[in-house]
Chain A
């Protein structure tokens, strides 16, 4: 490298001199140490609040508040002290800044260092990819009974109020109101809705029980004068959302419909965490899957259900296979035999089993659950627009590692050939 070259590159680096404090290794070390604490605490907390709770409290936040676990040694005193833990978005963001700043100010593009640069570049890509994934990835489920076909997905989390006009035999119209809009006291209207909707109360989880007929309902369902809430005389109590992995969150919504002449009535809607078709198991509550509302010559159905997404194609389940190693309870195969029916009348047969998902239209269908006796399968469906980023990052990192390894190997071999190896 000539001295002019050196000067040029120094100038180029100089353009970013103001980034130098951000690029310091000390900052890197501090951030890494803090991430150790974050990851450790968030892992511990999964016992208490489940993986989703830990995600929203620590990883998908700027700062999380941690209390020392009560059941640990000294917990009865230490438990009361709230400790702020830097969150994933904060640390992730700062680490990206730190790495990029280091890139811009400090890193040298020499043969010796190319490997290191590439590794760090890959790590930036991984971090950015994870941030984007965390923000954009959608997880849904699809349950199909044997012999039937399904053309929609249901989100694992989050509900919507669906008002469906089924009057037209050729085509149904769905008006979906997402959970985020269901705020108490909110008046909602939409061009496709012939009435206004007033949210009386809404919650993501509740306890409900059928009160004896004749008794008056109090509290959240007091005003309900239509539908299942009335006929089954349901009383509900609001509950905190349960974040654990086997949580059963029954969302509820009390809403009133009004139009220009006044109120049409007040309904209660409940969402079943495993999908509203489960309501049909109970005779009294069956209508929660579809509560009829008749207005101006049209039949509407209301249901609070997991957020749905309709697909331009459908998947039909031909059969399932669930096998165990003989004499054990260890499964060795879950397999669904499906046909993908696309809108242009094309079909595609596919086998979905462990480690082999079905990929179609930017979505990936994974074998998730299966019920052998009742002959249905459940797919986990994921749309992750940035799914390619980790793969690219891996390739960059691998090249970097390989480069670095070869560089050292060559240096080592040269050293060894020039000098005889040291004895003991």
Chain B
């Protein structure tokens, strides 16, 4: 560094600045690291405060999150991107899209929300990829809904392992359409089908429904329903078979309960005094939750139901609550009593229309009438109520919003490519330098900048992981997606440390390669519909995994084991490249070979340590939760394979059986073992750990294995050549010890 020329210094600084910019700062007017530091911008009176709107807390997938996450994650499911397109294929931001879906569905239906790129599937809807593109709006798909549904049902009958790509695509599309429709109806229960209107008129419920001509909003309908329930609550004698008021109540409880199924997230925050802190859908907020599946209603005894319900309604409120709790705890096999508790709750306990429902209605009206102030004020009010009622759970909302925008892993992956280029350039310069003796300084400068840039990217990558940990309240690795993030992070960290002592540009390049590769894998995992059906990579953990201690120790150690084994393997590949290059250019690579050999050795020591510790910790966890230390489960066996393979490498080196080339070959095969253990075992679909069956990854995995075998073949190629040409072995003999 000291000997840099001025020109080199300028390039050095320029590269660092560029890297830092990629890592931290905004692209154009987009989000940046500064968003975490700034307060959110004040709403402008000349526009909708979508910024505030995106921070309204809701519950989806078991977790309280801002609407921003809901918008991004659903778009990720629907079109593998975090934005939508309008009719002219111009980008529409996710939150803008969500606002339209919720409040102006007719307009949202025109937006190109769905991605269809399977030619057979396009044939189903009469489109061609070349002419019509791959982006479609709901209104374009609407005429084909029934066809898509029947085809998807047919595909669904095939076992998951036997589905072909058409089956998978049509299922994904069908699920996407369902998701979209659920999203549309989350705040507005689906209307009654027009053909049943006749019978509703006879029943006398028609005038209760929301009438857009005369009613300000849907809360008018809700209030009418509540008046009805209150009249029944005041006079329990009305509860009898065929009683006019009561049959209306029955109709509406049924109607709103059905609406619960058409709800993609829970917009109503928990009510004060609810110990279980349950979030509610619109329907649940009106009539509570169905205690059993609706189909169980058929098993009810109507006479006993009426009697039970009447008896419940006659109780004073406090006693009623206790009685409901006791029935729900003790009469789980009695649908009659259970459904009576729901009706009693709807009639006597849920007497008020939750103000949140009214606020969402106001929001919709303001949005449709372009009343900016009204919209912005309501957003503020909703956020206040939401945060207040959600309590602690809403504390990470603003952070999550900024985090979503920042996209640390996207930034990191771009920066890794950048580093890879710089590192490769440094090699290029160093080879020319040896012949011309001129550019040694440039090469060193490039290596230095690659090193420092790695440090900067690692900051962003680390921040990304830390952000997830903060939002989830979990250790870094919780699912396959985050294991990919962490494997990349671990490798890069180790490369940085290696590069600090051996500034060869090799560790930097391999680190950035692994970093980039793992982030690409992670991105593809987040798009996989079977692994990530909700589009949220921060999903909840199953009960058996719900232990931060073991997640933090066993899972992290195993994942570091993966990443270090990969790193050793990639250094093996670097050895192949260096060597191949050397034999082509006729240069002596003896010293570099030896250095690479000891790097592989050192990293394998690390990797044996972590995989052994991780596996043993896993055994202890298994002993704690399943009662056996070792059960020969597929994933356990995968971890064991890595341990054995690393042990083989080390013993082969210690005993002198394998020299540098052998070590490199073993290390490269370590990639195959690790890839098998990481992905292959999940594909088997057996065992306790099979938390994600992925058929899509099968072909990439096979290609990866083939490529590794190719490298192993290449590593032995020079040896074969020398053997046949009778030359002496040009490989260094590494000192051997027991």
Contact = CB atoms under 8 A, between A and B. Distances in A.
A47 B502 CA distance: 46
Interface in A322-362: 324-328, 330-334, 353-355, 357
Interface stretch (A209-217, A223-231, A276-284, A370-378): A370-378
Contacts of A424: 444, 447-448, 502-504
Interface in A24-82: 25-26, 28-29, 32-33, 35-36, 39-40, 42-44, 46-47, 50-51, 54-55, 59
Contacts of B620: 390-391, 394
Contact of A332 (B60, B546, B609): B546
Given A32-B651, A133-B629, A355-B624, A328 B637 contact: no
B709 interface: no
Q: Which of B641, B686, B687 is packed against the most chain A CB atoms within 10 Å?
A: B686
Contacts of B329: 319
Contacts, number: 169
Interface of A: 25-26, 28-29, 32-33, 35-36, 39-40, 42-44, 46-47, 50-51, 54-55, 59, 106, 126, 129-130, 133, 137, 139, 245, 319, 324-328, 330-334, 353-355, 357, 364, 366, 372-375, 380-382, 384, 387, 390-391, 393-394, 397-398, 401, 405, 421-424
A303 B62 CA distance: 47
12 contacts: A26-B657, A32-B648, A36-B648, A42-B637, A46-B634, A51-B687, A327-B59, A330-B539, A330-B541, A332-B546, A387-B623, A424-B448
Contacts of A401: 609, 612-613
A220 B383 CA distance: 73
Nearest to B617: A394
B303 interface: no
Interface residues on B, range: 35 or more
A47 B685 contact: yes
A354 B544 contact: yes
B647 interface: yes
Contacts of B633: 51
B504 A330 contact: no
B509 interface: no
B590 interface: no
Interface string B628-646: 1111111001101100110
Nearest to A365: B627
Interface string B641-679: 100110110011011010000000000000001001000
A352 B624 CA distance: 12
A36 B539 contact: no
Among A26, A43, A50, the most chain B Cβ lie within 10 Å of the Cβ of: A43
Interface in B615-629: 616, 619-621, 623-629
A391 B620 CA distance: 8
Contact of A36 (B266, B616, B644): B644
B681 interface: yes
Give the one of A327, A332, A353, A380 with max B CB within 10 A.
Answer: A327
A21 B286 CA distance: 80
Nearest to A363: B627
Nearest to B645: A36
Given A326-B279, A328-B61, A372-B332, A366 B627 contact: yes
Contacts of B62: 324-328, 330, 332
Interface string B11-52: 000000000000000000000000000000000000000000
B426 to A, nearest CB: 10
A354 B652 contact: no
Given A333-B543, A354-B625, A355-B625, A375 B332 contact: yes
Given A36-B641, A364-B627, A374-B333, A355 B687 contact: no
A55 B632 contact: yes
Contacts of B63: 325
B145 interface: no
A374 B631 CA distance: 30
B278 A43 contact: no
Contact of B332 (A55, A364, A373): A373
B540 interface: yes
A353 B624 CA distance: 11
Contacts of A394: 616, 619-620
A332 B540 contact: yes
B684 interface: yes
Contacts of A126: 616
Contacts of B61: 325, 327-328
Nearest to A335: B543
A46 B686 contact: yes
Q: 5 closest pairs, A vs B, by CB?
A: A424-B503, A325-B62, A382-B627, A25-B655, A328-B62
A369 to B, nearest CB: 12
A387 B629 contact: yes
A59 B651 contact: no
A130 B503 contact: no
A59 B655 CA distance: 28
B625 A47 contact: no
B543 A327 contact: no
A51 B637 CA distance: 12
A126 B332 CA distance: 47
B654 A25 contact: yes
A39 B332 CA distance: 46
B629 A130 contact: yes
Contacts of A354: 543-544, 546-547, 625
Nearest to A245: B686
A44 B624 contact: no
A47 B503 CA distance: 47
Interface in B491-507: 501-504
Nearest to A380: B627
B738 interface: yes
Nearest to A51: B632
Interface string B73-116: 00000000000000000000000000000000000000000000
Interface in B445-461: 447-448
Contacts of A29: 648, 651-652, 655, 657
Nearest to B634: A43
Contact of B540 (A42, A330, A353, A366): A330
Contacts of B265: 327
B676 to A, nearest CB: 8
A210 B477 CA distance: 53
B547 A39 contact: no
B201 interface: no
B629 A43 contact: no
A43 B623 CA distance: 20
Nearest to B504: A424
Interface string B251-283: 000000000000001100000000000110000
Contact of B627 (A357, A374, A397): A357
The interface centre, meaning the residue of A39, A353, A375, A422 with most chain B CB atoms within 10 A of its CB, is A39
B542 interface: yes
A332 B543 contact: yes
Contact of A39 (B541, B612, B640): B640
A306 to B, nearest CB: 18
Contacts of A39: 637, 640-641, 644
A382 B654 contact: no
B684 A32 contact: no
B540 A325 contact: yes
Nearest to A137: B628
Contacts of B645: 36
A35 B62 CA distance: 43
A355 B627 contact: no
B648 A390 contact: no
Given A354-B625, A397-B616, A44 B647 contact: no
Nearest to A106: B738
Contacts of A375: 332-333
Given A29-B652, A36-B641, A384-B628, 5 more contacts: A325-B540, A333-B543, A353-B543, A390-B629, A423-B503
B628 A326 contact: no
A96 to B, nearest CB: 15
A59 B633 CA distance: 12
